[in-house]
Chains A and B, each alone.
Chain A
């Protein structure tokens, strides 16, 4: 395939020039290369995405997976992981997509510590539909659906997923590609539910480059408790970046499948039929 690099498809890139998604795209490709250095084959990394500008990354990344529905990437990702737990599954989601349409999937995936990585492209707007406010847009945000300013308080995604028992929680910034790459690598290698909130300016409808360039900093430690993690991540005048929380806990697929792999360990048709016949004999008695 004649492409710029092995991880990029031939698809025409339609993100706006200067879009924060480019930074996430680059950082993710770097992360895949780093993971390959650490022994994770790119063929074992599967991706899925929701709908929105973020979702286009599915077409641009030359990796296998499912281009899912609006808000449903996290549900899809959990299915993919259960389908073959030997694979690494990454769900790309938007802030509207994941905190609006698909919030319940995110919370329940965190609750059951599904061993997937959720990368939330957080630009604070529904950019693909020209800039409506999302559940994380600040109070007073003006957009086509809130011309006089949003009257609602925003959600705090990091606090939400920590409350729901996420075991890896971080925040990155699309313009800090080196640090974002490291966060992605750590998140993907973490066994359990990893959530990465990526601050991503939308040059067309919510250009936050100046604010983020000036006001972000990296925390110097990982929270020992969830409370400390929330404290570390809290946005005030400055916006903290980095890994806020990391915990080792049993993961969903191991608890449910008890170490089985339904794909590699699937039965032959003959064996399935034999077992069904045995079962039916029991129930027919």
Chain B
């Protein structure tokens, strides 16, 4: 059997394998040894080349990822603006500070649309997007390749009908964006 199990019985294990993938955190100074490593390591925090341990640690990190997803499900991960317009109103998907440009453009042009802004991109809050699956939608983003649009499609399957992209190093200009949104939604 692996050495580390034999040697570390009953001791604090910084990287203990747990069902949730999360191990308890301690801070120095304490009588326990707290080792953090930039390399693949065992439960004690000592570097390892052992394929069994390395696999277990990868699985641990995946479990931790899933635990984070579960935690996120209890938190606000998406901002929905103008939700009161109801289910039939069109949706604009955007993220980051572009959201503010979109909101201003809608106000400026008196355009009725909901704005959906995920505030987490990884893990992507897919569970929040079922409500918007079958709605007319567009994507607004600062990107030549449509990175956000592709991410949205990959994670949720949502295919926006149109997109507005900008990539000239300047933020969106409200009058122009307002006009573009109106055309895209028409």
Contact = CB atoms under 8 A, between A and B. Distances in A.
B4 A67 contact: no
Most B Cβ at <10 Å: residue of A2, A67, A68: A67
A67 B47 contact: yes
Interface in B4-18: 4, 6-8, 11
B186 interface: no
Contacts of B38: 66-69
A54 to B, nearest CB: 14
Contacts of B3: 10, 12
B28 A43 contact: yes
B29 A9 contact: no
A51 to B, nearest CB: 8
A2 B47 contact: no
A84 B30 CA distance: 13
B7 A41 contact: no
A11 B33 CA distance: 14
Most A Cβ at <10 Å: residue of B7, B31, B33, B41: B33
B46 A64 contact: no
Contacts of A10: 3-4, 7-8, 46
Contacts of B46: 9-11, 59
Contacts, number: 61
Contacts of A56: 47
Contacts of A218: none
- What is the predominant secondary structure among interface residues of chain B facing chain A? loop
B33 A41 contact: no
Nearest to B26: A64
Interface residues of B, number: 24
B33 A59 contact: no
Most A Cβ at <10 Å: residue of B28, B31, B41: B28
A68 B38 CA distance: 6
A59 B49 CA distance: 13
B47 A66 contact: no
Interface string B22-52: 0000011111111111110100111100000
B36 A67 contact: yes
B37 A1 contact: no
Contact of B29 (A1, A2, A11, A87): A87
Given A2-B7, A43-B28, A62 B39 contact: no
A43 B31 contact: yes
A65 B35 contact: yes
A3 to B, nearest CB: 7
A263 B30 CA distance: 13
A86 interface: yes
A1 B11 contact: yes
Contact of B27 (A11, A44, A263): A263
B40 to A, nearest CB: 11
B143 to A, nearest CB: 31
A43 B30 contact: yes
Contact of A1 (B7, B36, B39, B45): B7
Nearest to B30: A43
A87 B33 contact: no
A65 B38 CA distance: 11
A75 interface: no
Interface in A16-58: 41, 43-44, 46, 56, 58
A63 B33 contact: yes
Contacts of A67: 35-39, 41, 45, 47
A43 B47 contact: no
B49 to A, nearest CB: 10
Contacts of B33: 62-64
7 contacts: A9-B44, A12-B3, A41-B29, A59-B47, A63-B33, A64-B35, A67-B39
Given A1-B11, A64-B34, 18 more contacts: A2-B7, A10-B3, A10-B46, A43-B29, A58-B35, A58-B37, A59-B46, A59-B47, A64-B28, A66-B36, A66-B38, A67-B35, A67-B36, A67-B37, A67-B39, A67-B47, A68-B38, A84-B28
Interface of A: 1-3, 9-12, 41, 43-44, 46, 56, 58-59, 62-69, 84, 86-87, 263
Nearest 8 A-B pairs (CB), nearest first?
A10-B7, A67-B37, A64-B34, A43-B29, A66-B36, A11-B46, A59-B46, A44-B29
